[in-house]
């Protein structure tokens, strides 16, 4: 049958395929024909076929695996929160957030001033993505890093970092198109991409971070990466690699989304945005440096045109910040408690990292002394999944490498330990239990 389609009709074709899946004519694991063959068989343009497949991915009915094709999903999309909510374990080494004991007292005074009726009234009105007067000027010095100060005019506000990432991806990558990411990446990006109908293309990473040359063959519309304190690997890209990446972005006319959510834990190096100011969108958040419960996200855009696209995505996605959170965070940024918290959290992260290094001494732990997380390549005979299950039986939640892996490649036999949340004494006991598990003291009983 020959389909005469308008651009919008790709949804009708996707509906027909969704019907085939629902009726069992297409079964979980079935490989859909290559897009070009599908386009030929339906009498549609290749770009329409790409949209059809992107729509199936967006609906969670299919999954795109780079180099292998598009497959009918083998099961219902996972309902787990994918590192977005506490795991409910006794000791949570999975969700990496820190709320220091002194934090409420540090943050409360600025809120007291906000709770006066005349100050609260503006915060109860709808917020704009540019924030109320003063918000951008308060944010710019907080987001500034070595060699880089954002232009306040280029700052947009989101509800949190995840929403900032979603808006940046939505603004840069159309449905059905491809976004480059590091082979191991922040897991929520996988969920965001699936919901936006964007295919992730895993790009190789070496000891200096993402390999810029790989972008040449990747055919991506943009790249999302974490150059500083990468989650989960803890890597920080050195300046010369940032410069090389900037040159390739320029040459290929590509944008990068630089996730700098953990970068407040280190002074150096200058962000990718300092090397490629016209090509980089910086996404940031107050969840790690402030609190995950009352937070704010940021997108710093390179120019007005990209800024308009991100602003439109923030509005239409429902990802703009709430008025009260924006007002509270503006006070915190302007009055100084966020700067105090940054200093306290740097000390806290270094202390936790030191404890982890000591307790897990002798194991191949990949860790930056400034980071709130580390990457643990497990000793034989442990497999990441069985280790995670064994840890869970001791009430400890840790994350297997597979949660971060993109694409069909085998995930490394490793786990990420998030060190930020539990009290230090609880963390130390949990790490001792994990060390004993790794030594197989418990292995016979598993």
Binding site for ligand PLP (CB under 6 A): 96, 160-162, 186, 226, 231, 259, 261, 285, 287, 292, 295, 297
* 162, 192 contact by CB (below 8 A): yes
Q: How far is CA 268 from CA 147, 155, 258, 416, 421, in A?
A: 9, 22, 15, 23, 25
184: DSSP letter: B
Nearest distance, CB of residue 421 and ligand PLP, angstroms: 11
The β-bridge relationship of strands 62-65 and 222-225 is: unpaired
Nearest distance, CB of residue 23 and ligand PLP, angstroms: 38
Residue number with CB closer to ligand PLP (160 or 301): 160
Residue number with CB closer to ligand PLP (91 or 167): 167
Residue number with CB closer to ligand PLP (49 or 139): 139
Nearest distance, CB of residue 182 and ligand PLP, angstroms: 11
Residue number with CB closer to ligand PLP (72 or 260): 260
The β-bridge relationship of strands 178-182 and 199-203 is: parallel
Nearest distance, CB of residue 420 and ligand PLP, angstroms: 10
Residue number with CB closer to ligand PLP (62 or 320): 320
425: DSSP letter: H
Sequence-distant (6+) residues with CB within 8 A of 416 are 231, 232, 373, 374, 375, 376, 398, 399, 401, 403, 404
> How far apart, in whole angstroms, are the C-alpha atoms of residue 420 and residue 359?
16
> How far apart, in whole angstroms, are the C-alpha atoms of residue 368 and residue 221?
31
160: DSSP letter: S
Nearest distance, CB of residue 293 and ligand PLP, angstroms: 10
* 199, 179 contact by CB (below 8 A): yes
Residue number with CB closer to ligand PLP (129 or 359): 129
Nearest distance, CB of residue 84 and ligand PLP, angstroms: 8
Residue number with CB closer to ligand PLP (35 or 285): 285
Q: How far is CA 127 from CA 71, 102, 123, 124, 304, in A?
A: 41, 30, 8, 8, 20
Residue nearest to ligand PLP (CB): 161
Nearest distance, CB of residue 402 and ligand PLP, angstroms: 17
Q: Torsion angle of alpha carbons 198, 204, 206, 208, nearest 10°?
A: -40
Q: Torsion angle of alpha carbons 231, 236, 242, 246, nearest 10°?
A: 10
Residue number with CB closer to ligand PLP (32 or 166): 166
> How far apart, in whole angstroms, are the C-alpha atoms of residue 127 and residue 320?
8
Give the H/E segment covering residue 309. Answer: helix 304-317
> Hey, is 342 helix, strand or coil?
helix
Residue number with CB closer to ligand PLP (52 or 164): 164
Nearest distance, CB of residue 285 and ligand PLP, angstroms: 3
Nearest distance, CB of residue 440 and ligand PLP, angstroms: 31
Nearest distance, CB of residue 425 and ligand PLP, angstroms: 24
Residue number with CB closer to ligand PLP (42 or 373): 373
Neighbours of 8 (CB within 10 A): 9
């Amino acid at each position: 049958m020959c389909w005469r389609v308008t651009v919008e009709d790709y949804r009708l074709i996707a509906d027909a395929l969704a019907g085939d899946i629902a009726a069992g004519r297409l079964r979980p694991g079935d490989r859909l024909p290559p897009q070009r063959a599908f386009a030929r068989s339906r009498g549609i343009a290749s770009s329409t076929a790409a949209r059809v497949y992107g729509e199936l991915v967006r609906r969670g009915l299919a999954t795109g695996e780079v180099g292998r094709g598009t497959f009918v999903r083998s099961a219902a999309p996972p309902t787990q929160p994918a590192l977005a909510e506490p795991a409910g374990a006794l000791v949570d080494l999975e969700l990496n957030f820190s709320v220091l004991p002194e934090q409420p007292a540090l943050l409360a005074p600025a809120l007291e001033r906000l709770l006066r009726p005349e100050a609260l009234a503006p915060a109860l009105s709808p917020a704009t993505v540019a924030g109320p007067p003063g918000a951008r000027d308060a944010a710019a010095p907080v987001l500034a890093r070595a060699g880089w100060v954002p232009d306040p005019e280029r700052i947009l506000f989101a509800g949190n970092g995840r929403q900032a990432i979603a808006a940046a991806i939505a603004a840069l990558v159309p449905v059905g198109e491809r976004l480059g990411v590091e082979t191991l990446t922040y897991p929520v990006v996988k969920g965001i991409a699936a919901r936006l109908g964007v295919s992730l293309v895993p790009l190789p990473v070496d000891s200096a971070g993402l390999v810029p040359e790989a972008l040449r063959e990747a055919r991506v519309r943009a790249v999302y990466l974490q150059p500083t304190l990468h989650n989960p690997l803890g890597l920080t890209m050195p300046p010369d690699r940032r410069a090389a990446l900037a040159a390739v972005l320029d040459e290929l006319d590509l944008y990068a989304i630089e996730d700098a959510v953990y970068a407040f834990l280190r002074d150096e190096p200058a962000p990718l945005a300092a090397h490629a100011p016209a090509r980089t969108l910086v996404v940031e958040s107050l969840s790690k440096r402030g609190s995950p419960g009352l937070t704010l996200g940021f997108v710093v855009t390179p120019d007005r045109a990209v800024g308009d696209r991100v602003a439109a995505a923030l509005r239409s996605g429902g990802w703009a910040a709430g008025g009260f959170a924006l007002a509270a965070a503006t006070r915190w940024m302007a009055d100084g408690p966020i700067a105090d918290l940054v200093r306290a959290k740097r000390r806290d992260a270094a202390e936790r990292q030191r404890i982890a290094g000591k307790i897990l001494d002798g194991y191949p732990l990949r860790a930056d002394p400034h980071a709130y997380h580390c990457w643990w390549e497990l000793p034989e005979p442990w497999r990441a999944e069985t280790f995670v299950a064994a840890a869970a039986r001791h009430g400890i939640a840790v994350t297997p490498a597979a949660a971060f892996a993109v694409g069909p490649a085998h995930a490394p036999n490793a786990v990420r330990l998030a060190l930020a949340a539990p009290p230090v004494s609880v963390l130390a006991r949990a790490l001792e239990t994990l060390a004993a598990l790794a030594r197989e003291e418990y292995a016979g009983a598993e």
